[in-house]
Structure 1
Amino acid sequence: MTLIYFESKQRYGSPRITFELQNLGYEICRITVTKYMKQLGLRSKLSKKFKVTTNSNHSYLVVENILNREFVVKIPSKVWVLDITYIQTKEGFV
């Protein structure tokens, strides 16, 4: 049971571990697997779903990439680099 748990990167809970054990020929029910997992301190880690945070289909001005990722300059204050953060409100993006 612990081998299946760690091979799944600690993501399998009692239903999936029960299914795997039954496929290996063990006669075991989910309630028993749940009980053993609690005794062993095994809890499945939930995978967070990917959340899209960018919107490429917008009507805002897109600034030209003049630096082309060459950030090394010889004269101080010749080039300034910054990041633009968009915050969504009820009225739209700020």
Structure 2
Amino acid sequence: MPIAPSTYYSHKQIQREPERLSNRKKRDAELIILIREVWEDNMSVYGARKIWKQLQLDDHQVARCTVERLMRVMGIQGVRRGKAHKTTIPDEQQDKPLDLVNRQFTAEQPNQLWVADITYGVLGVQH
């Protein structure tokens, strides 16, 4: 993937001189440490709202959306109440039913092949 030479050299210069980072990146680096500390101090159960509130109590001015964004970047989240959601995982070794209607879902151009579910079709009823 080709990139502009100026982009490459700019990236290399920032690697050599981290003080050239943008103010947002510098602030994010500080906040990531604070967020991690608050999250771990509270048994890794606090979500973005409670972490944001705790940072406010500790006199750190930060927006809640910033905490949410950084938590997503860090890959952490709070614990949620209720049952855990389970998804169906197909058994790849199970035999699958045969295709008895010879479906072919390939089209050479848009709108050439339409698929419809006629499960609830209305049948003609005579009175």
> What TM-score results when the alignment is normalised by the length of structure 1?
0.47
Larger radius of gyration: 2
Higher helix share: 2
Report 1 or 2 for greater relative contact order, CA contacts < 8 Å, sequence distance ≥ 6: 1
> What TM-score results when the alignment is normalised by the length of structure 2?
0.36
Higher strand share: 1
